[in-house]
Every structure is written in C-alpha cells, then in structure tokens.
A and B are shown apart, each in its own frame.
Chain A
Amino acid sequence: MNAALYNEAIKALARAAHGAGTLAAADAVVRLDNPYCGDRIDLALRLSGARIGALAHETKGCLLCRAAASLVGLHAPGAHVMQIGQAIVALDGLLTGADLAPEAWQEFAVFGPVREIPARHGCVTLPMQALHKAVQAAQARVQGPGL
C-alpha cells in the first residue's frame, strides 16, 4: 500500500510544484484549509475571457496535497472555466471508484490508491476546491454585481 500510494509519479508531481508562487494583479485570491490535517493553500488566478489566464499557488501540506496542487498548476492555466467543474467531478469520481473519463486530466490517475483511504481524500481535493472557489470569485469580480 505504501509504495502504491507514494508512487514516483505523485512524488515527482509534488517535487515539480507546478504553479507554485504568487500572482500579481489577480482577479481572485482564495485561502482554503483542511481542518483535519492543517493543509493550507493560497491560490490566486487571473481570468482571460472564459479561460484561466494565469494561476499561482502557495501550498503548505502533505505530499498528496502538494502533488494535487502541482497538477492544478500544470493544467489549470489556459483551461476553460467550464472544465474546472468537470475536473472536480472527475477527481471526486476517481476517489469514489469511477473510471476517469477520456477528457479528464489523466494525471488524476496517480491518486487512484488514495481511493482506499477516505481520511486522505480531502488532502487531494483541497487544491481543486480552491481552484473552483477562485474561479467563482474571479467571475463574480469580472462580471460585477448582478441586478
């Protein structure tokens, strides 16, 4: 179990820390904590129309959380905002036993072994939740208050 969970792909993702850093002139900055373990992510993004123009995150957490944040940093820039909700559904599905859809971010597959450890699901999903909230906040800011 240990070798499968802490596979080389997860470790490489965490080490790569794609998107790590800060972002100037962000449309939204979101901070999320995982109360279970104290993982924390600060995620900032800038929209470019209906796509994520730029993104950066500062993640303090376990290896699984850092790997998931790195995956966000790798794939989210340039993604259409509609894809983010689909990506969350795909990740939640993977963690609860579903197969990854062909259009989903295929690197999610590295988190397959986490499926057996419900206590760690939150570590993996925290960055995606932060991304989702940041997109919502950015859209609200860009579009301005409704009627």
Chain B
Amino acid sequence: MSDETAALRRQFPLLAQAGGTLHYLDNAATGQIHEAALDAMVQHERYARGNVLRAGHRLAQTATLAYQRARGQVAQFLNAAHPDEIVFASGATAALNLVAQAYAHLCKPGDEIVVSVAEHHSNLIPWQQLRDRAGVGLRFVPLGAGARLDLSGLRALVGRRCRLIALTHASNVTGAVTDVGPVVEQARAVGAHVLLDGAQRAPHGPVDVRALGVDFYVFSGHKCYGPGGVGVLWGRGELLDAMPPSATGGGMVERVTLERADYAAPPRRFEAGTPPVAQAVGLGEALAWMSRQDWPRIERRLAGLTARLIEGLLAVPRLHLAGPLDARDRVPVVSFWLEGLHSHDVCQVLDGLGVALRGGHHCAQPLMQALGTDAVSRASLALYNGDDDVDALLAGVREAVRILA
C-alpha cells in the first residue's frame, strides 16, 4: 500500500479501524464516509440542530445557514450557476422520480423519452411509470461494442417528439462513461432536454454541469463519501421554475388557502417537509473535501489499478468481463462473471477472505439481459483503494474457482 493510499484511509474512520483486514471494493453501492462529513453531522446535531427555513430563533437560523451552506458546496462541486439550482432529495432515486413526475405534467401523449438499456432501475422504472400514466413513448439507446452505449443511431432515435434524454453518466455495471457531447447535440437539435444519472460518476471528482451542457444531473450522497439519506437534483434554473412539485406539504409554499396553494420558487418547491438537514451538511463537507483533492493524480492512479485489475481477471480461465476491456473513458467499476459459477457464491468466498464485493444483477436487469448473463460480480474502486486491494481480489477469485468448481 502506498503512503498516499494509507494517508487517505486514515481519513475514513471505518477503514482506519479495519486496518489491512478489509479490502472494500463495493464503493459503487456505498462509499465509506469521510471523517469531515461525519464530524460535521455530529457537530450539527450536537450544537446546531433546529428546523430550517421556518423559525426565526437563533438555533433555527444557525441550522438554516448550515443547510444553505451545504447547498452552496454542492453547487460549487457541480459548477452550477446558482445554489438555488440545487435540490436536496432523499437520494438519487428520489431525485430521478421527482423529475419523472414533473415530466408527467409537462409531456403530452405521443411525446417521447429516451433512455438506454444500461440504466439502473432507478433511471428506468420512473420513465416506465411516466409512459403508463401519460401515454409517453419510451425509446432505448442500445449497447454497442465493449458494452458501451451505441450512440451511432441517436439521430434516428431522438425525434421531434422527444422531450428528454435520460442516461447514465457512468454505468454502475460496466463502468463505461457516456460520451455526453453527441447526446446534448442531438437533444438540442430537436429541443429536448438531457438528464444525466451521475450516481457513479460523481464519486470520482467534481462535475461541471455547465461544461457538459446538460439540463439535469442527479447523484447520491452515500456514494460520494457522505452520509446516506440525501441526494441531489441539479436542474437549470429556468427548467426548475417551469416544473410542478412532485411532493407537497409544509415548507414548499408561499401561501395556502382552503382552495389552493401557491408554490414557492425552486429549490424549496421541491423540498416538501423537513429536509435531511444533517445529511445535507455532511454531504456538503464531503463534497468540499473532494473538491480539494488532486483528481488528475487520483484518476491516473485509479486508471492504473483498473488496468491491472482487468489484466489479472482476464488471465482467469472462463472469466468474462462485463464492460470495456480498457481503462479509457471509464470509472473504476469492473464487473465479471465466471462460467458455471454464480456471482453470489464468488462474492461469498471473497467475503470470507476479507474482500467486499457485490454480486447480482445490480438493479440493472435489462443490462444483464443485453450482456447475456443473469448476474455479475462487481469490483468498484474508490480513491482509497490500492494495489493491496487488487491483489486480494485477484487471489480471491482464484480461490473462489478452486473452492466452488
């Protein structure tokens, strides 16, 4: 383990405590929480706990300032034009549902939404619901070479009735990063909007939503070294302004009579009820910490680890990789399956050796079908992973083959 990796692990309480006994490679499911995020939440709950955007007493004001500060930290992480473009939700799934429910009101029968076959169920089922409720057509970007999205048919796929293209920014199974440029170009050509599911991309460094040219971006806190129970929807201000709320209740209105309610401006319009304040504070600190890291250096190191991992896996007989064979344009998520062995058994053996991996369909069953398998084992690296983790995984896979065959 390098000094750099060791120094990083010391900043993550669970990893620091585990020492060398844990090789945590399930970061695509949940990353470990950074001490700054944990400390910020504890401090907030101990000394600044109050409801936000409501009362005028000092504690409430302190809590509100902390909450809004977190919104600013998220905006900075995403290079959003304004903190008011940041909506806190309970997670990426809730954020995606929020947009889908708004589009149920904004779409007309016959309009179309484009998604891909590689989506996490969270970026598929909400659109299926929209199709069923609003008579909207669903079209799918297929999988192409190297299990990357095949964008060559975009022109035919994205027609005049397309209102939104909702794609993964990086696949939670293959690790492939979507080439966003052509997507945005085709969307603009027909007046459609673009939403990116950034749940797997955001953990790997700040995102520039304005440079990407997209209209919506969602991600979750627990994958970005922050707490669970909080996620983010970023939307262009003018688009959020035009969207109706998906949930209603306290805190999201200007005035209510027995007959009607006048909704507040975004982001409050979309944050009905008491929001996850401490979680937002923790996420803000996690993202602020991330923003201070040397990401080009981290990316080079993780790309090297990913390449070594892929090379090692490909040397195992009857092993198939579910994704690109190179480390280019991908996040460090590597999935594989072994002929005749189920991924859950493989992951079970690995767990017995201290290597934490997830096996299964990864909430991407249509993608499993496209890949020609029922389930895969997935190794997902984070910035605190090192050579020792890759070594343990590769040795564990060989041991799994020995035990299970």
Instruction: Determine the chain A residues whose CB is within 8 A of the CB of B404 once the complex forms.
Output: 6, 11, 63
Contact for A1 among B342, B343, B352, B360, CB less than 8 A: B352
Q: How far is the CA of A11 from the CA of B402 in the complex (A)?
A: 13
Q: Is A32 engaged at the interface, CB distance under 8 Å to the other chain?
A: no
Contacts A38-B374, A63-B342 known; A2 to B360 CB distance under 8 Å?
no
Q: Please determine whether A2 and B349 come into contact, CB atoms closer than 8 angstroms.
A: yes
Q: Please determine whether A38 and B361 come into contact, CB atoms closer than 8 angstroms.
A: yes
Smallest CB separation, A55 vs chain B (Å): 23
- Tell me how many residues of A have a C-beta within 8 Å of chain B: 17
Q: Please determine whether B403 and A62 come into contact, CB atoms closer than 8 angstroms.
A: no
Q: How far is the CA of A120 from the CA of B342 in the complex (A)?
A: 13
Q: Please determine whether B348 and A5 come into contact, CB atoms closer than 8 angstroms.
A: yes
Q: Is A123 engaged at the interface, CB distance under 8 Å to the other chain?
A: yes
Q: Is A147 engaged at the interface, CB distance under 8 Å to the other chain?
A: no
Instruction: Determine the chain B residues whose CB is within 8 A of the CB of A123 once the complex forms.
Output: 344
Residues of chain B from 340 to 380 with CB closer than 8 A to chain A in the complex: 341-345, 348-349, 352-353, 359-361, 365, 368, 374-375
Contacts A2-B403, A3-B403, A61-B342 known; A38 to B348 CB distance under 8 Å?
no
Smallest CB separation, B339 vs chain A (Å): 14
Instruction: Determine the chain A residues whose CB is within 8 A of the CB of B353 once the complex forms.
Output: 2
Most interface-central of B341, B342, B349, B375 (chain A CB within 10 A): B342
Residues of chain A from 105 to 147 with CB closer than 8 A to chain B in the complex: 117, 120, 123
Smallest CB separation, A62 vs chain B (Å): 4
Instruction: Determine the chain A residues whose CB is within 8 A of the CB of B368 once the complex forms.
Output: 38
Q: Please determine whether A2 and B348 come into contact, CB atoms closer than 8 angstroms.
A: yes
Q: Please determine whether A120 and B374 come into contact, CB atoms closer than 8 angstroms.
A: no
Smallest CB separation, A45 vs chain B (Å): 24
Residues of chain B from 149 to 168 with CB closer than 8 A to chain A in the complex: none
Q: How far is the CA of A116 from the CA of B80 in the complex (A)?
A: 48
Q: Number of residue pairs across A and B with beta carbons under 8 Å?
A: 43
Most interface-central of A5, A37, A60 (chain B CB within 10 A): A37
Contacts A62-B342, A63-B342 known; A37 to B348 CB distance under 8 Å?
no
- Complex interface bits, B83-108 against A, C-beta within 8 A gives 1, otherwise 0: 00000000000000000000000000
Q: How far is the CA of A6 from the CA of B352 in the complex (A)?
A: 11
Q: How far is the CA of A146 from the CA of B203 in the complex (A)?
A: 58
Smallest CB separation, B336 vs chain A (Å): 16
SS class of chain B's interface: helix, strand, loop or mixed? helix
Contact for B349 among A6, A36, A61, A64, CB less than 8 A: A6
Q: Please determine whether B344 and A62 come into contact, CB atoms closer than 8 angstroms.
A: yes
Residues of chain B from 310 to 360 with CB closer than 8 A to chain A in the complex: 341-345, 348-349, 352-353, 359-360
Q: Please determine whether A117 and B359 come into contact, CB atoms closer than 8 angstroms.
A: no
Closest to B374 in A: A38
Q: Please determine whether A38 and B360 come into contact, CB atoms closer than 8 angstroms.
A: yes
Instruction: Determine the chain A residues whose CB is within 8 A of the CB of B399 once the complex forms.
Output: 2
Q: How far is the CA of A1 from the CA of B348 in the complex (A)?
A: 10
Smallest CB separation, B290 vs chain A (Å): 30
Q: Please determine whether A62 and B374 come into contact, CB atoms closer than 8 angstroms.
A: no
Residues of chain B from 115 to 157 with CB closer than 8 A to chain A in the complex: none
Closest to B375 in A: A38
- Complex interface bits, A26-49 against B, C-beta within 8 A gives 1, otherwise 0: 000000000011100000000000
- Complex interface bits, B394-405 against A, C-beta within 8 A gives 1, otherwise 0: 000001000110
Instruction: Determine the chain A residues whose CB is within 8 A of the CB of B352 once the complex forms.
Output: 1-2, 5
Q: Please determine whether B342 and A117 come into contact, CB atoms closer than 8 angstroms.
A: no
Contact for B374 among A3, A5, A6, A60, CB less than 8 A: A60
| Chain A contact residues, CB within 8 Å of chain B | 1-3, 5-6, 11, 36-38, 60-64, 117, 120, 123
Rank and list the top 10 A-B pairs by shortest CB-CB distance, nearest first: A62-B342, A2-B352, A62-B344, A1-B352, A38-B361, A63-B345, A37-B360, A37-B344, A2-B349, A62-B345
Please name 13 further chain A to chain B contacts, defined as beta carbons within 8 Å, in addition to the given A2-B349, A2-B403, sorted by A numbering.
Answer: A1-B352, A2-B348, A2-B352, A2-B353, A3-B403, A6-B349, A6-B403, A36-B360, A37-B360, A60-B374, A62-B342, A62-B343, A63-B345
A-B contact pairs, 9 of them (CB 8 A): A2-B348, A3-B403, A6-B404, A11-B404, A38-B368, A38-B374, A60-B374, A62-B342, A120-B344
